[in-house]
Amino acid sequence: MDSQNKKNKNLFYSIEDTIDDIREGKIIIIVDDKSLHNEGVFFQAAEKVTTASVNFFITYGRGLIFLPCEQKRLIQLKIPMISYENETSPINVRALAVSIDAKSISGSGISVRDRVKTIKTFISSDTKPEDISIPGHIFPIRSHNGGILTRAGHTEAAVDLAKIASLYPAG
């Protein structure tokens, strides 16, 4: 049975097929644990984001564009948290950072092109805190340390899947 028929028969992709799709820049849907938010989200590795994919997210996702990422990147870029966890808060609290834009964008930040530029700026190793403006139109969301082993959320799954695919740990 070829890979496509296996996917259709099982209704779920194997991890190997999913990682291949992520490396190829395909959009997947990640569903979190029903004990958390019990929702699905579109995911594409941040390195692979294009104007076409961001347009897809806006058109079909019909919501805000979140950028799952590791805490260390938020610290490096000095992006403050809106909500965060401490030892006394429940594990299902979303760890949202303030929204961002790249300072180098040519428009207001709302266009598809501006959002792609912001995501690419966020993941660039050359980016410094002064290259980011707050507030903006992309919403970083911090993955819990330990990934899906500590929280079975789509944020952690997104970061873990990008890592497994040997891509920048964001999406």
Per-residue model confidence as pLDDT tens digits over 36-95: 677 889 999 999 999 999 999 999 998 799 999 999 999 999 999 986 555 455 555 668
pLDDT for the residue 87: 44
Out of 42-46, 87-91, 101-105, 160-164, which region has the weakest mean confidence (pLDDT)? Answer: 87-91
Tokens of 30: 């990640």
pLDDT band at 1, cuts 50/70/90? very low
Distance CA 22, CA 167 (A): 9
8 Å CB contact between 157 and 41: no
The residue among 103 and 152 whose pLDDT is bigger is: 103
Flag whether the pTM goes above 0.85.
yes
pLDDT for the residue 91: 56
**Of the options 3.30.930.10, 3.30.499.10, 3.40.50.2300, 3.90.870.10, the CATH number for the domain spanning 13-164:** 3.90.870.10
8 Å CB contact between 171 and 162: yes
Domain regions of the chain by residue span: 13-164
By DSSP bridging, strand 132-142 and strand 100-102 are antiparallel
Tokens of 64: 């805000």
Q: What mean pLDDT is predicted for residues 107-111? A: 94
